[in-house]
Amino acid sequence: MKITVELTFKTALRWLLGLLLVWAALSKLANPQDFYGQLLAYRLPLPETLLKLVAITLPWVEMLCGLILLARFRTEAALLWCMALFLSFTLATGQAWARGLEISCGCLNLRLFGLAGEHAGLTHFFESVGFAFWRAVLLAAGAVYLWRQHQALPPASPEVDEGFRTEGAEVQAPVSRS
C-alpha cells in the first residue's frame, strides 16, 4: 500500500484550521468560567442560559471539528461547522467592534503557551477585538474555500475524500485531497 502525502495549499489550510481550532478549544477548556465571562462581554442579545450552554459546548465543537479536520474523517460535517462558527465569530466580533466594546476577544489564549507577557503592546493587539474580527473573516473565507473545493470533488467515491482506503491497488493517487 503506497501512501503519498503531497503538501498542497488545501492540505496546509486544513491543518492550519485544525490546529487553530484545537488550540482555541484548549485555551477555553483551561478555564470555562473565564470564557463565559468573556462571552458576556460581547453583550449579545441572548438569554443567559443559552450563553452558558454555548460556553460549555463551543470549546468541544471546536475540539471535535479540529480533530476531524486533522484526521480527515467526516471532513464535510466539520467544514459545515467551521463555516457556521467562523461566520458567528465574524458577526459577534464585528458587532462588538462597531459598538466600541473594550474586550479581549477570548478566542485564543496566548498565555496558555507562554506566548504573551514580554511584549504587552503586541499581546494587546493580538487580543484586540478588531484583530479578532479580521481573523474571523479570514478563517471564514478559508473554511468556505475548503468547503467549495470539497464539494467540487467527483461524487463517485465518497470514501476517498473521507480519508479511508481499503484496497491497495487503487490508492496510487496522492492522498492530497482535503
The residue ranges that bind other proteins (CB under 8 A) are 29-41, 43, 52-53, 55-61, 63-65, 68, 74, 76-78, 80-81, 102-103, 111, 151, 155-160, 166-167, 170
Lookup: cell for 22: 484545537
Shortest spacing between CB 111 and other proteins, in angstroms: 5
Angstrom distance (rounded) from CA 172 to CA 3: 7
Shortest spacing between CB 135 and other proteins, in angstroms: 21
Phi-psi region of 144 (alpha: psi -120 to 50; beta: other; left: phi over 0): alpha
- In the complex with other proteins, the residue whose CB is nearer, 10 or 34, is 34
Shortest spacing between CB 13 and other proteins, in angstroms: 19
Per the CB < 8 A criterion, the answer to whether 101 and 44 are in contact is no
Shortest spacing between CB 19 and other proteins, in angstroms: 18
Burial class (CB in 10 A: 0-12, 13-18, 19+), 34: middle
- In the complex with other proteins, the residue whose CB is nearer, 5 or 154, is 154
